Structures are given as C-alpha cells and as structure tokens.
Amino acid sequence: MSTYKIPVGPLHVALEEPMYFKVEVEGETVTGLDIQAGHVHRGIEYLVAKRNIHQNIVLTERICSLCSNSHPFSYCMALERIGGIIVPERVEYLRVVADEIKRIASHLFNVAITAHLVGFDTLFMQVMETREIMQDTKETIFGNRMDLGANRIGGVRYDLDGEGKAYLAAQLARMKAPLDEFRDLYETNGSFLRRTKGVGVLPRADAIRLGLVGPVARASGVDYDVRRKAPYVVYDRLDFDVQTLADGDVWSRTMIRLREVKESVRIIEQCLRDIPEGPISIDAIPEIPAGEAIAKSEAPRGELIYYLRTDGSDKPARLKWRVPSYNNWKGLQVMMAGCKVADIALIVGSIDPCISCTER
C-alpha cells in the first residue's frame, strides 16, 4: 500500500481558520501528523505594550470573535488585582451574564459546524437558527452581535433594568425546547452517530499528559472547569454541574458542548434572579501601581490564563495570555492516529480550535 503526504490548509474549505497540517497517510489511514502554525500571527502581545490600559480593553476583545468577552474580562480581573480594585457585586453578576451568553453562542456554532461536516445540513441550519436567538439578544442588550464591549476597569458598560431582565429571560425560555430536540437528534440519529462515535478518540490519560482543557478534556473524563476549581466573580454562589463524558471521541465533545449550553442557561437565569441592586462601576479608577498578577477564566474553549505586569505607567510592561487552543491542538496527534482521511476535518473541528487566539 502506498504511503504519501497530504497538505491540509492553510486555506481549506472545511477549516474555520488558517491551519496547516502535513498529514502522512498509508492508503486512506493517517499514520502521522505535523502541525505548522503561524499563518495568522498579528503581534498583539507587542501591540498591547504600545497602548494604555483602557485602549487594551478594546484590543484584547479583538483577539478572537467567538470568545471575545473572555479576553477583556480576564485582562480587567488581572488589572484590578494589581490596583486593589474591588468591583461592585452587581458588576460580578453582569460579567457572568455576558460571559455565559458568549459561551452559548460559541458552543452552538461549533455544534452546528459538526453537523455540517458530517453532511447533516438540515440540523446545521436548525442549530444556527437557534443560535440566532443569542445573536439577537447580544445585539439588543450590548448593541453588537459579536464583540460585546461589556467590560471596563472596575465595572461593566451595560446594565439590565426590569425590562432588560424580562427580555433576556424570555429569550432563554425560547431556547429550551430546541435544545432538548437537538440533544435527542445528536444522541439517536444513525447518520450522525456513524460519523462521530469512536472517531478521533482521546483517552483520559493522554488528555491529562498533554494538559488539555475545556470541553475537549471534559469529553475525555477530565473533571476540570475553572468556574468550579478556581471560582471567580460569583461562580461559587451559582448552582451548575460540570459536564463530563468518558469516551473522548467527536460525539462526546459535541455532547459536552450541548450540555454546557443548558448549564449556561441555568447560570444566567440564576443571575437574573439573584442580581443585587447597585452601581455598575467604581466611582474613579485609581492609579495602577507597579506589580504583576495572573487571572484565570473558563473561556468557551477552556482555561484562559492572563499574566499582566505593570511598571506604574499607564501602559502594561508585559501582557501575555495562554489560550486553551494552544494546549488542545496537541491532542490532534493522538486523535488522528489511525483515523481515515475523510475524518480529518471533522476531528479538527471537534476541538473547536481558535487560531487567532493562539497565534497572537
């Protein structure tokens, strides 16, 4: 049987962002994988050192579209720790609401793309139609369908009055029946199961060895979620379940995201119920002293870590982030070993890679 190499990317119809793989195959079976990165490098870690602390809120939100709220959220938390800033309690609830809305939209996008990659385009369109409920919600509450602009140092830039809370609650209620229908389809449809069950398997031991995070790790039985293990803002006061599955295949990674969408709906509903009255920002931002801090959050793709060092000026001395996709794409070498060529795009999509985050 002949052995040869197949180039996949950096521009490929089945890849969401530019990635380049050199795939070694024997017949139709993958025997080796080499990932070559750097095709969307933008030098953002350099650019943040040239902008002041306020401008960087805008810049960090543009690192990635689907997890755009997680970056300025984590950046603000790191800056607030250095400055000793205590945000109002209402701000903490509003930050959770914004982050979970983005998580719902991000997860549903990946779940829909998975359906498209297996050729189930009717399901793809139905999931995307339901995702539009959250897109419309973002446009109504934040004024934008992608970058929310929700965060500021010491507070948030939006608020929810009685009418806004009622609107958001109604939008969440609209999603519940479709989400239950999707779960039944993804769990029982024979065509979908044949393409995803047992495909791209990542054993739990390999997920731990490689340091994988987020839904990819939880689909392999790794019970780790920053919201539970290292709670921030008000996550320690909210009731939600960390979703895990044991098989570690494409199907499991899809189901973890679907289940987490329902948990996000629960979280937002609790926030709407428990959010206290109060200001949405501190009165004045103090001078930020020299110092350093680390902030962690659970982005849609997993653990996001921000390291910030300041020197007493209004510009960061150093800002660095470790994004979940940086860890997760190492798992592809395990997932693709022995898979078929036709499954390459499906397996890559199942880790929901964010190349713009990774190649910053």
Establish if 292 belongs to a structural domain: yes
Q: Tell me the C-alpha distance between 90 and 18, whole Å.
A: 40
Establish if 2 belongs to a structural domain: no
Q: Tell me the C-alpha distance between 310 and 73, whole Å.
A: 18
354 is in an annotated binding site: yes
Looking at residue 25, what is its pLDDT? 85
Establish if 281 belongs to a structural domain: yes
Establish if 293 belongs to a structural domain: yes
DSSP H/E element including 272: helix 250-274
45 is in an annotated binding site: yes
Establish if 222 belongs to a structural domain: yes
Least confident span in 85-99, 239-253, 323-337: 323-337
Give the amino acid at 213.
V
Which tokens sit at 54?
């306020």
Domain of residue 74, residue span:
40-335
pTM: 0.94
Model confidence at 200: pLDDT above 80: yes
* CA-based nearest residue to 353, from 124, 18, 123, 31: 18
Q: Tell me the C-alpha distance between 7 and 256, whole Å.
A: 30
Instruction: Check if the beta carbon of residue 189 is closer than 8 Å to that of residue 317.
Output: no
CATH of the domain at 252: 1.10.645.10
Looking at residue 14, what is its pLDDT? 60
Q: How confident is the model at residue 33 (pLDDT cuts 50, 70, 90)?
A: confident
Establish if 14 belongs to a structural domain: no
Q: How confident is the model at residue 24 (pLDDT cuts 50, 70, 90)?
A: confident
Establish if 5 belongs to a structural domain: no
Looking at residue 88, what is its pLDDT? 97
How many domains in the chain? 1
67 is in an annotated binding site: yes
Establish if 251 belongs to a structural domain: yes
